[in-house]
Amino acid sequence: MTKQRRAVGATLDELDDFVSTQELYRKLHERGESVSLATTYRILQSMADDGLVDVLRNGEGEAVYRRCAVEHHHHHLLCRKCGRAVEIEAPAVEQWAARMAREYGYTDVAHTVEIYGLCPECTAAKD
């Protein structure tokens, strides 16, 4: 438990949305914290490995991270402009995914379900 890890944790706590490593690095420096870029990468990866943060990929294929409020499996409704995220659940989708996998003989399955759009604010700001 080092100063850098605490800084990353605290900064993540203040964010509601998914951020890339680069973005988090910038935010750390805005807060006056001193963490190198390489360390930011390392910390986020280790947190993801330990299941302390959610990881997914944005439209550009970059890994984006977020400390999630809820513990169990869920999906996201993401704003493609500002990154705002809403956590959503979809029991029916889970079941559908499991059924499809079984039907085609796939094992060891996981799935990604993300919805991208413009959040209400960005929709309004578009004009």
Partner DNA sequence: TTCACTGCAAATGCTTTGCAGCGCC
Partner DNA sequence: GGCGCTGCAAAGCATTTGCAGTGAA
Number of other residues whose CB lies within 10 A of the CB of residue 64: 23
Q: At what angle do helices 37-49 and 3-13 cross, to 10 degrees?
A: 70
> Considering the rule CB under 7 A, would residue 19 count as an interface residue with DNA?
no
Distance, in Å, from the CA atom of 83 to the CA atom of 91, rounded to the nearest integer, reads 24
Sole residue written with tokens 């605290």: 10
- Report how many residues bind DNA under the rule CB under 7 A: 20
Residues 37-66 that bind DNA (CB under 7 A): 37-39, 41-43, 45, 62-63
Minimum distance of a copy of itself from residue 43's CB (angstroms): 19
Q: Which residues lie near a copy of itself (CB under 8 A)?
A: 57, 60-63, 77, 79, 86, 88, 90, 92-93, 96-97, 100-101, 104-120, 123
- What is the number of other CB atoms lying within 10 angstroms of the CB of residue 48? 14
In the bound state with a copy of itself, the residue whose beta carbon lies nearer, of 14 and 108, is 108
Contact 60, 75 (CB under 8 A): no
The residues that touch DNA, with contacts defined as CB under 7 A, are 1-5, 20-22, 34-39, 41-43, 45, 62-63
